[in-house]
Structure 1
Amino acid sequence: MQNLPKKVRSKKLNARVDLTAMVSVSFLLIIFFMLTIELAKPKSIGLDLPDNGDITCGPIGCIDSNRIYTILLDDNDKIVTYSGLLFSPLENSKSSVYGETGIRKEIFETNKRITEYSTAIGKPKNGAIVIIKPSKKSNFKNLVDILDEMAIAKIETYSIVNEFTPEEAKLLASK
């Protein structure tokens, strides 16, 4: 037998892959997708409708007319207010003046009355809905003053509407 050269065998390296980083990335992706799916779900706000009483429905929904308080602004610092709807007011319309003893006092009293009413029907968080209607004759200062009164009285829901009904125009002219 001949002396044949011995074959040199190469050492086999241990072909092991470390998957620690892959596991971390996969968990991060799972968490990311779970979070994005949760955030993509539509959220809605509950709509509280009154259980009883007068309900006024308009283009944006239904509102209990007992919560509505309207302030009409005219020239010469003239203010006329009424509660509820004009064709069925909760109380007679009143003329008022700006200041602590005028419109501010009326707003506080009205908001207190409406909050007590809302608490009585089981909706303690519902306060007054104030509609501010400046006439074309009123000035910007009057509007700013009434908005300051809203902030002082902590009225959360109010709206400025520049459309007068014919009945409201007659009411302003008569007061």
Structure 2
Amino acid sequence: MAEIQGKADSGGKGGKKRAKKMSTKIDMTPMVDLAFLLLTFFMLTTTFAKPNVMQLTMPVKKDDNTEDTKIKNSQAMTIILGKDNKAYYYFGMNTPNDKTVPKPELKVTNFSADGIRKVILTRKSQQPEPIILIKPSDESKYRNMVDILDEMNITNQKKYALVKVSKDDLALIKDSAL
């Protein structure tokens, strides 16, 4: 605690008495003890930030006997992740060998709430259960992949798949020059 030490009276001359000057010495030990107790208390009672993870369900490994899942052209929506944070999308399938299916109209957007999220929500209102094919290109960034998976989670999209981008899709981007 605080300790006050008095100065010894020198006896000296008589006469007017002056107030004794006291020196103060503060003992810091209890305050340091209290600081460490508080620090220990808050360290032990706090909860650390838990990492945010997204649950992904991976398909079983494909055998030679199993065939690819067929998707209706009316249900499909393809999103191609391009360079410079662009997302190209079209509705339906890009099958240039099938002459009965028209060539899809390629559109471009970004990863904002007014971009790809709005497109996905509009598609969900038109087609109750769309199947979204996500095709990352070699020029896309890892961040774009995380962003599109976040959009699938935000829009509560039930069916989506990560698919390798085909040469036909890359040719479609190159031809459109968007």
Instruction: State the TM bucket, normalised to the shorter chain.
Output: 0.5 to 0.7
CA distance in 2 between counterparts of 1:96 and 1:142 reads 12
Q: How many residues align?
A: 106
Alignment of 1:79-90 (within 5 A): 79-87=87-95, 88=101
Supply the AA of the counterpart residue of 1:73.
L
Larger strand share, 1 or 2: 1
Q: Deviations over 1:64-111 (max 9, x none)?
A: 211110000011101110111113358622111111111100000011
1:100 is matched with: 113
1:73 is matched with: 81
CA contact 1:69–1:131 (8 Å) conserved in 2: yes
- What SS does structure 2 have at the residue aligned with 1:154? coil
Larger helix share, 1 or 2: 1
**For residues 145 and 114 of structure 1, do their structure 2 counterparts lie closer, same or farther at Cα, with a shift above 3 Å needed?**
same
Contiguous gaps of at least 5 residues in structure 2 = 1-65, 96-100
Instruction: Give the drift of 1:146.
Output: 0.4
CA distance in 2 between counterparts of 1:71 and 1:107 reads 10
Supply the AA of the counterpart residue of 2:123.
T
- What SS does structure 2 have at the residue aligned with 1:146? helix
Instruction: Give the drift of 1:63.
Output: 2.5
**For residues 170 and 62 of structure 1, do their structure 2 counterparts lie closer, same or farther at Cα, with a shift above 3 Å needed?**
closer
2:131 is matched with: 129
* Selected match of 1:151 from 138, 153, 163: 153
CA contact 1:104–1:149 (8 Å) conserved in 2: yes
Scaled by the length of structure 1, the TM-score of the pair is 0.56
Q: Percent identity?
A: 30
